[in-house]
């Protein structure tokens, strides 16, 4: 079993910095406009104007004239300021902003920001906060029960209070609140309705082991974080040391939670995992969320595969993490055909800024856990010290903010950070476009900026006689573009356990997610000897992406209680988006020059509101999965380990599972391949409907769909179609991608399935 990297590193939680997030698009196209706050020099107020309002209006009008025909018709003043600051706010295009900057008395300008944001911000990023949609259709997931298989829970967290929850637990619930060390039954309530722990496997593996916390109480923070992400209650004023401050809430804030502790500091055994999942099914959960996985085991030896089959039989959707082994292909775990596998993406949020003495503001990335005063310090960049590669050289730096040379290797940035911290500098600026995995990254007053922003900083530091800079901490910026991007650490398909089903299925927010944490362990540090706890932590990993998908699945279960686990997965896959918030293909931050492929992110970013009404679904029965196992030539006993019942048969073995995506693998020894797929879709729309196929062929392939039109006469009618993929290999092996989209006449629904054609040797 590979433990998820994110949250077990002591004394600091696992964090992954996605450097591309640092880029804040301040200047849009000529046709775009944004609100900017503009600071002016009051001492240069022209006496020709009666009031400062008149002066500001004149500047705005002049900016329109300067841009001629390119001026925005929306350009307008929003506010004038004379007390708290001197200046104005206005809606300007990028060209108008440049004209304003050339005005007499201009000091600085920066985009208008949201002062406080809600939760992890991810529910907002996923558009769950709309006035209609899945939140409202599901009544926020009311009375759906989510079982979380993890490291336990911190029951005193505000995220697990039961304010606003109905006082009647669903009658299907058969679970309990198990007493144990520092944990009694009164700690459960109408939100956290159950808590159990399973460590017999740990004890059996080491008879001399002493369990340090023999109960469902969390001592790692991972389970507290994931469970509050799924269904945490509303908590005002949550933040990570002032970052991401707002109202915390889970994706399904009115769902019930049950914790099954199977991860222990003393070990993590498949037997305990299997026991926890087994009990969750028996207790009557609707959704299981499991942010862990097992590597290098066949399906019939994988406890998650085995337990999730039983869950699927009872209509329980299992949502799992893809793993943190990216960016290489074939590193994914939980590539199990009958569950949901979730990749991790970034969100449109970053923290902190660098302000140069010339007024330039650069949005960067920092999580230094205090509102440190690093203001108007000398900015230092010279060839002798800016390598930042030794404590000795940095110790010779005069007091100020050092600008370290840009590096491409995350390990080198880690070294730079360590040397800067040990040299006790007043501040530092690091330059990188590579994702950073840096334990203790926020322990010194520093900030990371992108390589794109670096030249202007270095030029200013070298060209001015007395360059200065300030670093602003505890700032939160949202609306960053482009977002989402595929996180570099997210494991990629194809699945080693069975590559014939395209995995992962979807991507969900997984980087820098704010959620509840345990308050008795260090979550940040200042310097080398000051460690700080927090009630809410920012963590990264597919462990954080999984509970987002679990929460959406819970909402769908509430809105469509009749849907099977396969139907819910299908709705999530066929409505996911392959585009970011600039309407361009989602980027892969493991390979910044490339777009993410279906092997990286599945169908794309999860879209909860569209999943509520997918139009068509690809359903599957337990026997369909057994037919796949039979085609794999598993022995009867191997199949029985998964199915637990001899009631299934192998009369119709088939590799062609009714899945909402396609992957065609060809042998390295052959130069051409023909794959035929048969799919059956169910009309879950409002009634009669006509769908027409639109195909984007993978490069080098000819793809035929038959029939090309599906005419449904009534709701829940099932129709079938075939897909024929002909591929010819040329000079070298090639991985190519495309999609099949069924578009309803009238445009009400668009049902998209990703397609991959690849050599079998990539597994």
The CATH number of whichever domain residue 291 belongs to comes to: 3.40.50.200
The CATH number of whichever domain residue 89 belongs to comes to: 3.30.70
- State which of 478, 506, 523 marks the end of a domain: 478
Same domain? For 360 and 470 the reply is: yes
Are the C-beta atoms of 539 and 7 separated by less than 8 Å? yes
Beta bridge partners of 682: 617, 718
pLDDT at 669 over 80: no
pTM equals 0.84
pLDDT at 727 over 50: yes
408 is catalytic: no
Same domain? For 271 and 356 the reply is: no
Beta bridge partners of 754: 739
- State which of 432, 461, 478 marks the end of a domain: 478
What pLDDT does 203 receive?
87
- Asked whether residue 589 is assigned to any structural domain, the reply reads no
The CATH number of whichever domain residue 686 belongs to comes to: 2.60.40.2310
Between 698 and 593, the more confident residue is 698
Per-residue confidence at 268, pLDDT binned at 50, 70, 90?
Answer: confident
Same domain? For 408 and 461 the reply is: yes
Helix axes 622-631, 303-313, angle to 10 degrees: 140
Overall average pLDDT of the 418-431 stretch: 89
Same domain? For 334 and 224 the reply is: yes
Give the separation between CA 233 and CA 255, rounded to whole angstroms.
9
What pLDDT does 762 receive?
84
- Asked whether residue 121 is assigned to any structural domain, the reply reads no
Per-residue confidence at 75, pLDDT binned at 50, 70, 90?
Answer: low
H or E element that contains 279: helix 270-283
Overall average pLDDT of the 146-158 stretch: 98
* H-helix segments, 67-214: 94-101, 122-125, 134-137, 200-205
Candidates 150, 348, 433, 607; catalytic one: 150
Give the separation between CA 31 and CA 66, rounded to whole angstroms.
15
Residue 364 has what DSSP assignment? -
- Asked whether residue 87 is assigned to any structural domain, the reply reads yes
Non-local CB neighbours of 632 within 8 Å, separated by 6+ positions:
498
Give the separation between CA 229 and CA 318, rounded to whole angstroms.
16
Candidates 432, 543, 564, 597; catalytic one: 543
Domain count, the chain: 4
Overall average pLDDT of the 280-307 stretch: 93
- Antiparallel, parallel or unpaired: β 436-437 and 446-449: unpaired
118 is catalytic: no
Q: How far is the CA of 748 from the CAs of 682, 689, 690, 744, in angstroms?
A: 16, 10, 11, 6
Average pLDDT, the chain: 88
What pLDDT does 349 receive?
92
222 is catalytic: yes
Same domain? For 229 and 338 the reply is: yes
First-to-last C-alpha distance (Å) of the chain: 19
- Asked whether residue 598 is assigned to any structural domain, the reply reads no
Q: What is the pLDDT of residues 482-529, one digit of tens each?
A: 999 999 999 999 999 999 999 999 999 999 999 999 999 999 989 888
Give residue 237's domain range: 135-347+486-562
Between 157 and 390, the more confident residue is 157
Are the C-beta atoms of 401 and 449 separated by less than 8 Å? no
- Asked whether residue 630 is assigned to any structural domain, the reply reads no
Between 129 and 262, the more confident residue is 262
Ranges of beta strands (E only) in 306-445 are 317-321, 340-345, 349-356, 361-363, 374-380, 401-403, 427-431, 436-437
Candidates 20, 222, 333, 749; catalytic one: 222
Same domain? For 57 and 141 the reply is: no
Q: What is the pLDDT of residues 584-639, one digit of tens each?
A: 999 999 888 899 999 999 999 999 999 999 999 999 999 999 999 999 999 988 99
- Asked whether residue 638 is assigned to any structural domain, the reply reads no
Q: What is the DSSP string of 437-459?
A: E-TTTTSSSEEEE-TTTHHHHHH
Between 131 and 153, the more confident residue is 153
Same domain? For 339 and 377 the reply is: no
Same domain? For 452 and 493 the reply is: no
- Asked whether residue 592 is assigned to any structural domain, the reply reads no
Q: What is the pLDDT of residues 176-200, one digit of tens each?
A: 999 999 999 999 999 999 999 999 8
3-state secondary structure of 509: strand
- Asked whether residue 632 is assigned to any structural domain, the reply reads no
Per-residue confidence at 67, pLDDT binned at 50, 70, 90?
Answer: low
Same domain? For 329 and 361 the reply is: no
Beta bridge partners of 706: 722
What pLDDT does 123 receive?
80
Same domain? For 163 and 278 the reply is: yes
Same domain? For 181 and 315 the reply is: yes
Same domain? For 546 and 439 the reply is: no
What pLDDT does 72 receive?
42
Give the separation between CA 145 and CA 288, rounded to whole angstroms.
9
Per-residue confidence at 66, pLDDT binned at 50, 70, 90?
Answer: low
* H-helix segments, 438-588: 454-463, 542-559, 565-574
Non-local CB neighbours of 567 within 8 Å, separated by 6+ positions:
560, 617, 619, 682, 684
């Amino acid at each position: 079993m590979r433990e998820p990297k994110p949250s077990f590193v002591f004394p600091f939680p696992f964090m992954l910095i996605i450097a591309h997030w640092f880029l804040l698009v301040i200047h849009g196209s000529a046709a775009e406009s944004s609100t900017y706050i503009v600071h002016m020099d009051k001492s240069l107020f022209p006496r020709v104007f009666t009031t400062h309002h008149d002066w500001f209006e004149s500047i705005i009008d002049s900016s329109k004239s300067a841009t001629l025909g390119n001026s925005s018709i929306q350009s307008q003043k929003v506010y004038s300021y004379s007390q708290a600051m001197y200046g104005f706010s206005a809606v300007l295009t990028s060209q108008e902003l440049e004209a304003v900057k050339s005005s007499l008395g201009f000091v600085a300008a920066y985009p208008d920001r949201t002062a406080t944001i809600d939760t992890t911000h991810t529910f907002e990023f996923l558009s769950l906060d709309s006035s209609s949609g899945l939140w409202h259709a599901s009544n926020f997931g009311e009375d759906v029960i989510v079982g979380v298989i993890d490291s336990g829970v911190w029951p005193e967290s505000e995220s697990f209070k039961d304010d606003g929850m109905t006082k009647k637990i669903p009658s299907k619930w058969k679970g309990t609140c198990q007493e144990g060390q520092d944990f009694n039954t009164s700690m459960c309530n109408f939100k956290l309705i159950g808590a159990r722990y399973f460590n017999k496997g740990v004890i059996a593996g080491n008879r001399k082991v002493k369990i340090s916390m023999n109960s469902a109480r969390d001592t790692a923070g991972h389970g507290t974080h994931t469970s509050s992400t799924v269904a945490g209650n509303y908590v005002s004023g949550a933040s990570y040391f002032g970052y991401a401050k707002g109202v915390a809430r889970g994706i399904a804030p009115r769902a019930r939670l049950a914790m099954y502790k199977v991860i222990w500091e003393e070990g993590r055994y498949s037997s305990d995992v299997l026991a926890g999942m087994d009990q969750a099914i028996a207790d009557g959960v609707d959704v299981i969320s499991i942010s862990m996985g097992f590597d290098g085991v066949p399906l019939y030896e994988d406890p998650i595969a085995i337990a999730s089959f039983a869950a699927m039989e009872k209509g329980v959707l299992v949502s799992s993490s893809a793993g943190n082994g990216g960016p290489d292909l074939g590193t994914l775990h939980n590539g199990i055909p009958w569950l949901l596998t979730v990749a991790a993406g970034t969100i449109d949020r970053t923290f902190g800024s660098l302000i140069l003495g010339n007024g330039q503001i650069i949005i960067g990335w920092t999580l230094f856990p205090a509102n440190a005063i690093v203001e108007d310090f000398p900015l230092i960049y010279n060839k002798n010290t800016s390598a930042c590669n030794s404590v000795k050289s940095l110790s010779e730096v005069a007091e100020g903010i050092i600008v370290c040379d840009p590096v491409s290797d995350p390990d080198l940035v880690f070294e730079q950070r360590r040397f800067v911290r040990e040299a006790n500098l007043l501040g530092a600026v690091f330059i990188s476009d590579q994702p950073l995995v840096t334990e203790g990254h926020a322990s010194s007053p520093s900030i990371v900026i992108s390589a794109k922003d670096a030249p202007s900083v270095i030029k200013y530091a070298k060209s001015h006689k007395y360059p200065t800079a300030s670093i602003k901490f505890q700032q939160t910026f949202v609306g960053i573009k482009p977002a989402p991007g595929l996180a570099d650490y997210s494991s990629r398909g194809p699945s080693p356990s069975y590559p014939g089903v395209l995995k992962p299925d979807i991507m969900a927010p997984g980087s820098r997610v704010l959620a509840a944490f345990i308050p008795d362990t260090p979550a940040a540090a200042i310097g080398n000897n000051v460690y700080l706890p927090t009630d809410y932590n920012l963590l990264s990993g597919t462990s954080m992406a999984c509970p987002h998908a679990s929460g959406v699945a819970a909402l769908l279960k509430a809105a469509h209680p009749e849907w099977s686990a396969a139907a819910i997965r299908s709705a999530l896959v066929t409505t996911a988006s392959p585009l970011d918030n600039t309407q361009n293909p989602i980027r892969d931050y493991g390979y910044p020059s490339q777009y993410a492929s279906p092997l990286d992110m599945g169908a794309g970013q999860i879209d909860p509101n569209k999943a509520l009404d997918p139009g068509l679904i690809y359903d599957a029965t337990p026997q369909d999965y057994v037919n796949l196992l039979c085609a794999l030539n598993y022995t009867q006993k191997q199949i029985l380990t998964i199915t637990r019942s001899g009631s299934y048969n192998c009369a119709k073995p088939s590799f062609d599972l009714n899945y909402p995506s396609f992957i065609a693998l060809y042998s390295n020894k052959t130069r051409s391949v023909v794959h035929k797929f048969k799919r059956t879709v169910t009309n879950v729309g409002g009634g009669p409907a006509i769908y027409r196929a639109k195909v984007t062929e993978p490069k080098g392939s000819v793809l035929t769909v038959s029939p090309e039109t599906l005419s449904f006469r009534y709701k829940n009618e099932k129709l079938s179609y075939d897909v024929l993929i002909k591929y010819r290999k040329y000079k070298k092996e090639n991985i190519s991608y495309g999609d099949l989209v069924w578009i309803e006449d009238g445009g009400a629904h668009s049902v998209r399935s990703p397609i991959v054609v690849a050599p079998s040797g990539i597994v």
